[in-house]
């Protein structure tokens, strides 16, 4: 019965806890768009088990958001520039194409984590749908790769199409945080299955853009003279590495530190950088 709660939460204890909480104004409130409590829970867990990550978690809790977002954009850009200088002139565009693949993998996994978290927030449960939701992402990935592969011969220079795919992925990353509050709205609760189906559609779209980019990047690597087997290996490695980093950073760092809107904005900025690099590479090739 409800009366048992009085034996667990004495009025004096509840009043004391309320007074202590009222004295402190939290620097970050935990919301649907900013799951800050996730990082706080990691700090609590760290103190309980006395792990070696306390310094890292404490630093992440106080790191300026702008600095973190800037670092995530600049580090891959500088690394790509260094790799470009180490390549032979004929293959100096390859690091840019691999950066494009890694950025797509990073963005895809980041958006997938965002959508899964938002799904849980909007519906209150995920385990019944998680298999279908993840499967639809893979379906979109296969559909995107199939659609582009059948049209590769129509594009002698795949760079503009590659730029268009990254532009679309950038726009998708900007639209997602604007759509999520609507899907979590109480007003949509009577619509029932429309909400999970909308999340499934978003997953398919994210997967489609991811799959569409892979054949384009592989074809561009082949055009620079890279052997087919090596090109396939490079593209596959770049995609998986980007996905690994995206899932790790977005799930464990970006979402609890800067929130969903800023995370999606960071993903959009990364894709914008890739579009700029591809455009600059095309201009340089045309002038050569």
d(CA 149, CA 165): 14
Q: Which comes out higher in pLDDT, residue 119 or 43?
A: 119
Average pLDDT over the chain, rounded to whole?
A: 83
pLDDT tens sequence across 147-200: 999 888 888 888 899 999 999 999 999 999 999 888 877 566 666 678 888 899
27: pLDDT strictly greater than 80: no
Query: DSSP label at 124?
Result: S
Mean pLDDT of all residues in 192-221: 89
1: pLDDT strictly greater than 60: no
**Six-digit token pair at 162?**
């590659």
Q: Is residue 89 in some structural domain?
A: no
Q: Is residue 82 in some structural domain?
A: no
pLDDT tens sequence across 238-266: 999 999 999 988 888 888 888 999 999 99
For position 247, which CATH number holds?
1.20.1250.20
pLDDT of 181: 85
Q: Based on C-alpha coordinates, what's the Rg of the chain?
A: 23
Count up the domains in the chain and report the number: 1
pLDDT of 169: 93
Least confident range from 75-89, 125-139, 223-237: namely 75-89
Query: DSSP label at 53?
Result: -
Q: Is residue 212 in some structural domain?
A: yes
pLDDT tens sequence across 38-86: 887 877 887 777 777 777 777 777 777 788 788 887 887 777 777 666 6
pLDDT of 85: 63
Mean pLDDT of all residues in 115-128: 82
Q: Is residue 22 in some structural domain?
A: no
Q: Is residue 198 in some structural domain?
A: yes
Q: Which residue range is the domain that position 197 belongs to? A: 97-287
d(CA 193, CA 140): 20
21: pLDDT strictly greater than 80: no
Q: Is residue 35 in some structural domain?
A: no
pLDDT of 287: 67
Mean pLDDT of all residues in 137-149: 93
Query: DSSP label at 27?
Result: S
d(CA 98, CA 202): 25
Q: Is residue 52 in some structural domain?
A: no
25: pLDDT strictly greater than 70: no
**Six-digit token pair at 245?**
């980093």
Q: Is residue 194 in some structural domain?
A: yes
* Nearest Cα residue to 282 out of 167, 158, 164, 169: 158
Q: Residue 151, SS3?
A: coil
* 10 confidence band (pLDDT: 50, 70, 90): confident
Give exposure, 97-129, as e/b (b: 16+ Cβ within 10 Å): bbbbbbbbbbbbbbbbbbbbbbbebbbeebeeb
């Amino acid at each position: 019965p409800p009366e048992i709660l009085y034996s667990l939460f004495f009025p004096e204890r509840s009043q004391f806890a309320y007074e202590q909480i009222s004295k402190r104004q939290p620097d970050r409130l935990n919301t649907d768009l900013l799951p800050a409590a996730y990082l706080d829970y990691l700090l609590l867990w760290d103190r309980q088990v006395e792990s070696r990550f306390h310094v890292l978690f404490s630093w992440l809790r106080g790191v300026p958001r702008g600095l973190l977002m800037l670092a995530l954009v600049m580090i891959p850009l500088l690394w790509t520039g260094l790799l470009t200088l180490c390549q032979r002139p004929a293959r100096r565009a390859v690091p840019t194409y691999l950066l494009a693949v890694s950025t797509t993998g990073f963005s895809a996994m980041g958006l997938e984590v965002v959508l899964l978290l938002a799904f849980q927030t909007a519906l209150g449960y995920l385990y019944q749908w998680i298999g279908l939701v993840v499967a639809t992402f893979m379906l979109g990935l296969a559909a995107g790769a199939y659609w582009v592969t059948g049209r590769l011969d129509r594009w002698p220079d795949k760079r503009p199409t590659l730029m268009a795919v990254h532009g679309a992925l950038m726009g998708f990353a900007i639209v997602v945080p604007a759509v999520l509050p609507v899907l979590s709205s109480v007003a949509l609760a009577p619509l029932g299955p429309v909400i999970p189906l909308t999340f499934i559609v978003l997953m398919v779209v994210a997967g489609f853009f991811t799959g569409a980019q892979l054949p384009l990047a592989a074809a561009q690597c082949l055009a620079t003279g890279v052997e087919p087997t090596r090109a396939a290996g490079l593209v596959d490695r770049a995609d998986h590495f980007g996905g690994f980093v995206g899932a790790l950073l977005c799930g464990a760092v970006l979402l609890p530190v800067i929130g969903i809107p800023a995370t999606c904005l960071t993903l959009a900025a990364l894709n914008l950088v890739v579009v700029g690099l591809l455009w600059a590479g095309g201009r340089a090739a045309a002038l050569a």
